[in-house]
Amino acid sequence: MSTRLIQGPAVTTLPIDHRGRQVLLDAYAYQGNNEHEQILALIHRSPEADPDVVPIVRLHSGCVTGDVFHSLRCDCYQQLQLALDAICTAPLGAIVYLPYQEGRGIGLYKKLLAYGRQDRGADTIEANVEIGVPVDARDYEFAAWVLRDIGFRTVTLLSGNPLKKSALVKNGIQVNKCAPLKSASNRYNERYIRTKRKRMSHDI
Ligand SMILES: [Zn+2]
């Protein structure tokens, strides 16, 4: 992507309720090349943080069904909560939230089309192939740009997805460590998590 038209950041503070505790985060929003591509970086910074501390970062692709409605078909909500646990207790950390990468980048409508195929027996990869969309259409160039803009050039990445790490490295971010978030499976997402682990090389 060209980074020519990026606007931002719009900056404010965002108090959130995380597991019953009030946490104050710095919120940075950016707009990419079109109004559809927007990123929210929520940063936790403790006042006594060492200036050289390596920040903990989660790149989280938006999932309306999971993040908002706590769907059990995926593990997005659990991963977001586990990431917030880590970030809100770290001296320096950020959730970089990518709402436009819904459904691994294919959008809400096609994600539900793929779910329909999965209801009839396909796994998460076969379903995408059947409806003619990429298995993973996400890209992290804009996210890497945002990380550089907030001054995070070396990070510990909360992810077990090797594609995220290599995309960041390719775009100038050093990843000193990957720490996968281990979410628990349930009877609705068991197959999805198994497919991510076995067929997409995710360490989860
Ligand atoms: Zn999800």
Q: Estimate to the nearest angstrom the gap between the alpha carbon of 81 and the chain centroid.
A: 12
Q: Burial level of 174, CB count in 10 A (0-12/13-18/19+)?
A: exposed
Domains and CATH numbers, the chain: 7-103+141-199 (3.40.50.10990)
Residues 123-180: tens digit of each pLDDT: 989 999 999 999 888 889 999 999 999 999 999 999 988 889 999 999 999 999 999 9
136 is catalytic: yes
Distance between CA atoms of residues 100 and 193, nearest Å: 22
Ligand 1 geometric centre to CA of 118 (Å) = 14
CA contacts within 13 A on the Cβ side of 49: 18
Residues 99-121: tens digit of each pLDDT: 999 988 899 999 999 999 999 99
197 is catalytic: no
Catalytic option among 26, 85, 136, 149? 136
Identify the pLDDT of residue 136.
Answer: 87
Identify the pLDDT of residue 158.
Answer: 97
Contact status, residue 172 vs residue 142, Cβ threshold 8 Å: no
Contact status, residue 1 vs residue 100, Cβ threshold 8 Å: no
